[in-house]
Amino acid sequence: MPAGAAATAAAPSNILRPRIEDLGAAWSAHACRCRQQLPAQLAWAAPLLDRDDPLAVLCSHEQACELIVWHHHLPTHQQVSFSCQHLAHNGPATPRS
């Protein structure tokens, strides 16, 4: 699973997953058009937008927000469907007083 956060100091806190089933056979065309419009600063999300074998990507909260805002402004025929899930933090437990 590609890690979009590798380019930033923030640890991965979200996972973006393609929802191919929402578009069915149209996924390939939509993903191709969407990926062609992908700006350089969002290149980390390219595996999510692969037309043939889309992959889930790890990213920071800021990256997820940036991708979602960019994607929201695309014309409908360029949009794909994906989910964003916040990852649970598995840090050390803090003692309660």
Query: pLDDT tens digits for 17-67?
Result: 999 999 999 999 999 999 999 999 999 999 999 999 999 999 999 999 999
Q: From CA 6, how far away is CA 12, in angstroms rounded?
A: 8
For the chain, the distance separating the N- and C-terminal CA atoms, rounded to the nearest angstrom, is 39
Query: pLDDT tens digits for 7-31?
Result: 445 688 999 999 999 999 999 999 9
Give the SS3 label for residue 88.
coil
pLDDT at position 5, please?
A: 39
